Amino acid sequence: MKKIFIMITFLLICYSINVIPNDVKYRTFTQSSLSDKPNKLKEYASKWCYQLTNKNSSLQTVNGLRLVFSAKVKSISDPGPFTNISGLGTKTVDLTGAIIDSGQVVNICGIGEKKQMTMVKYVWLKDGEKIGKAMNPPPPTLYQQLLPMPNFGWARWLIYANAYTARGGLLIGVERLDSPMTYGWLHYMNGAVTREAFPHTGIPRGFDTWGKNGHTQQPFIGPKKNFKVWKHDNHLLGEVHALKLAVTANDIGLTEPDTPHTALGDLIFNDLTTPTNPFNGRTIREILLHADSALTMWTWYPAGYHIWLDSIISMINSAFTGEMDTVSTLPLKIKVAVALSDIPFLHPNTLIKRNILNRTNIVALPETPMLYQNYPNPFNPNTTIEFYLPQDAIVSLKIYDLLGKEVANLLKNKQLEADHHTIDFDASELPSGVYFYKLDVMGESHYYEVKKMILLK
């Protein structure tokens, strides 16, 4: 029976290779890139194009053009017919090396160092000398304000915002509600918290124990949330987490391809160098499901198994990595990195039809501060408070009891960078009860928000 399955799998893969083009490209993420904090996406430069006409007399040809701008010019991306450019890095740029007849139109494009800049005037040149008067330019035919290249912290945040936050987080492991005192599993709730969930370097293993190195280890049983690397440093966990995010990113259209080609999660694994590999013929999603089981029910597997499993997940996860590049920034869509034809152990899938996704609801990073619900809640005695700053600001974070009395001051007028921030709160000295935490943000405007939390001892 096993031989028949292997033969059918082999024939399907051969059919896929012959029928479905495998020059389609995909994208996966490294653990280290997923630890990036989302960079600031503020306009920093401008791109423009102008069409300029030589309006001198019918007998007057020119061989140069001087452009004067309101800010420094970073580059000329399209010099039209001209071959020589001088003056980059200044407000005045000369273009030479082409003969322009009277009435001829030239198209000039470039990038300025300011997000708002205009051409002030232009004048035609002949052998370096001005011909005629300087003229006011026409309106630009193209004007765009440029954003910096987003980093992978953006990708991580948007994957969670669009696919997991409203669904109770990303599950890693198997939710064994029938045996919570025997097995453990893990939920990651949002993209801010998971920045500190990468990268893992610890020995690949199951969910055995957790705790800081050098301290008493606790059994990894029951549900856990938002573990940072130091709580359970496990390379297999990090690779599974990263590959799940890559699969989800492709499913929601954050990464290409989002066409009828095989989705990343449905690609078929087949290691031709190891015909006995039990994952041959399985999809990436199926392999991830198996990894979930191996993490939670780790005692079921022989010694060394998790190290071998980690090598398989890592091999898949490293197949399509590359430098960040985008199709668009707002909304973010990430370009593919590596062609499927370059990866000998992954193949198209003819059996699963890809859905075409509507990406109009992809959300972006919030433009105002946000205070999130503490976790865990209820808690005893430690909890984490998380908030987001879209801009650098002065921040205060205080804890109050039901009577409005201040019982803790976690941040007092502290200057913080634009980023997601987490603050740990130890309530060991407080009695059980309902408390409130208030975030005050003084930036371009004043923002405050209050949320409730419950201490149960």
The tens-digit pLDDT sequence of the chain (457 residues) is 445 544 544 444 444 444 445 578 999 999 999 998 887 777 778 999 999 999 887 668 899 999 999 999 999 999 999 999 999 999 999 999 999 998 999 999 999 988 889 999 999 999 999 998 899 999 999 998 887 888 898 889 888 888 886 677 899 999 999 999 999 999 998 776 678 899 999 999 999 999 987 788 999 999 998 899 999 999 999 999 999 999 999 998 888 876 667 899 999 999 989 999 999 999 999 999 999 999 999 999 999 999 999 999 999 999 999 999 888 777 788 888 899 999 999 999 877 766 544 444 455 666 788 888 888 889 999 998 988 888 889 999 999 999 999 999 999 999 998 777 889 999 999 999 999 999 999 987 889 999 999 999 8
Residues 186 and 311 in one domain: yes
Residue 318: name the closest of 56, 77, 2, 32 by CA: 32
Beta pairing, strands 84-86 & 45-53 = unpaired
Residues 157 and 274 in one domain: yes
DSSP letter for each residue of 337-406:
-EEGGG-TTEE--SSSPPPPPP-TT-----SS-EEPPPBSSSBSSEEEEEEEESS-EEEEEEEE-TTS-E
Read off the pTM: 0.71
Cα separation of 5 and 398, whole Å?
62
Range of the domain at 402: 370-455
What pLDDT is recorded for position 37? 82
Query: Does residue 71 share a domain with residue 154?
Result: no
Burial class (CB in 10 A: 0-12, 13-18, 19+), 190: buried
Tell whether 382 is covered by a domain: yes
> Nearest Cα to 107, choosing from 161, 62, 53?
53
Q: Are residues 160 and 16 in the same domain?
A: yes
Same structural domain, 256 and 308: yes
pLDDT of residue 391: 83
**Contact yes or no for 226/192 (Cβ under 8 A):** no
Task: State residue 366's pLDDT score.
Answer: 67
**Kind plus residue range of the DSSP H or E element containing 87:** none
Residue 223's contacts (CB-CB under 8 Å, 6 or more residues apart) are 175, 180, 184, 185, 186, 187
**CATH number of the domain within which 114 lies:** 2.60.40
Same-domain check for residues 230 and 204: yes
Clarify whether residues 125 and 261 are in a common domain.
no
* Helix, coil or strand: residue 435: strand
Give the pLDDT score at 17. 44
- Residue 311: in which H helix or E strand, if any? helix 305-317
Residues 128 and 176 in one domain: no
What residue ranges in 113-179 does DSSP mark as E strands? 119-126, 129-135, 142-146, 170-172
Which neighbouring-strand residues pair with 415? Answer: 394
Q: How many domains does the chain have?
A: 3
pLDDT of residue 15: 45
326 and 401: one domain? no
In this structure, the dihedral spanned by the alpha carbons of residues 352, 356, 360 and 366, taken in order and rounded to 10 degrees, is 20
- For residue 73, which of 62, 88, 61 has the smallest C-alpha distance? 88
Tell how strand 105-112 and strand 346-347 pair up: unpaired
- The first and second tokens of residue 452, run together, are 């409730």
The reply to whether 261 and 183 lie within a common domain is: yes
**Do 154 and 226 sit in the same domain of this protein?**
yes
Q: Is 137 buried (19+), middle (13-18) or exposed (0-12) by CB count in 10 A?
A: middle
* pLDDT value, residue 10: 47
CA terminus-to-terminus distance, the chain: 57
Query: Bridge partners of 397?
Result: 411, 439
Cβ distance 255 to 246 under 8 Å? yes
Tell me the HSE value of 84 on the side-chain side, using a 13 A CA sphere.
12
Tell me 9's DSSP state.
Answer: H
